[in-house]
């Protein structure tokens, strides 16, 4: 998986509006990789949210009232700009932003989907999508509607723990880029705080360089940690609390956000567990 900069995701904020938990994680990663250049050239802000979202049919039919509501979609939502972005080589909307990557990404997603591709949607309307496509007014994004049958998680088939750890390390690359040490591992643990005394399949993330006393601010990596949590959730792992501190994932993230940029937010070591029965 290519290194991409992650953001707070639509899926973690609106879990009922997405079908991401039904999808093969490899499919989600492939789509994200296709958008890597677009994501790098037009980085999102906290206000913008996430570049890529996976909308469920119910969300598209009820909230968006889109065409082909029986299918899910891949939504590309660009950072806010009043006059939008150019789509194609022949657009004449001079005050919109040049963005050749936008069309390239759309075409690459369409090619990737193959016969599962159903429609290219702009502003609740189906439009043609080909090499010759150009739109003269600035757009803020698009949806690609698809048949998910080939991309659903396979029953009785699970990704290996080694592959999960490898994917987690890719997600955490931002930390190593900033010289923040981390370790993530998988083990069968017989006992965790307050857990039943039976083996648990656990993922443990440890961040920090405690022996050398170097501190870091986990608030700088909330988006990375959120993406890691979403990925592990999609593979059946849930945040594990010892019952005495942060009992839910939301409480854990809120505590990190609350102390971001303050002396209390500086840590030398932080450990998070996810478990799967």
Using an 8 Å Cβ cutoff, are 38 and 51 in contact? yes
Taking the domains of the chain in order of start, what are their residue ranges? 10-151, 161-276
Q: Provide the 3-class DSSP secondary structure of residue 120.
A: strand
Residue 117: predicted pLDDT? 96
The closest alpha carbon to 275, from 225, 222, 233, 221, belongs to: 233
Specify whether the CB–CB gap between 65 and 123 falls below 8 A: no
What's this model's pTM, rounded to 2 decimal places? 0.53
Residues of the chain with pLDDT > 90: what percent?
13
What are 246-264's pLDDT values in tens digits? 888 888 888 888 888 888 7
Print burial letters for 169-180: b (CB count within 10 Å at least 16), e (below 16): eebbbbbeeeeb
pLDDT at 7: 36
Residue range 173-227, pLDDT digits in tens: 877 766 778 888 886 655 555 555 555 688 888 888 766 767 888 888 888 888 8
């Amino acid at each position: 998986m290519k290194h991409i900069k992650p953001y707070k995701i639509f899926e973690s904020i609106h879990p009922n509006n997405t079908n991401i938990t039904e999808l093969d994680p490899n499919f989600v990663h492939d789509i994200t990789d296709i958008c890597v250049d677009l994501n790098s050239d037009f980085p999102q802000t906290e206000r913008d949210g996430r570049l890529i979202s996976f909308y469920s049919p119910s969300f598209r039919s009820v909230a968006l009232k889109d065409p082909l509501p029986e299918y899910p979609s891949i939504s590309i939502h660009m950072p806010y700009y009043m006059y939008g972005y150019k789509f194609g080589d022949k657009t004449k909307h001079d005050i919109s932003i040049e963005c050749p990557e936008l069309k390239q990404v759309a075409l690459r997603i369409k090619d990737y989907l193959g016969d599962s591709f159903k429609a290219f949607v702009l502003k609740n309307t189906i439009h043609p999508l080909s090499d010759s496509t150009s739109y003269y007014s600035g757009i803020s994004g698009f949806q690609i509607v698809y048949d998910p049958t080939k991309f659903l998680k396979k029953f009785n088939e699970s990704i290996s723990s080694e592959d999960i750890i490898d994917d987690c390390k890719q997600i955490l690359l931002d930390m190593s880029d900033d010289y923040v040490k981390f370790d993530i591992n998988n083990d069968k643990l017989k006992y965790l705080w307050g857990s039943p005394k039976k083996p648990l399949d656990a993922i443990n993330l440890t961040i920090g360089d405690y022996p050398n006393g170097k501190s870091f601010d986990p608030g700088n990596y909330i988006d990375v940690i959120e993406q890691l949590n979403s990925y592990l959730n999609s593979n059946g792992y849930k945040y594990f609390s010892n019952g005495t501190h942060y009992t839910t994932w939301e409480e854990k993230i809120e505590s990190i956000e609350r102390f971001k940029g303050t002396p209390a937010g500086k840590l030398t070591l932080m450990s998070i567990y996810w478990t799967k029965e």
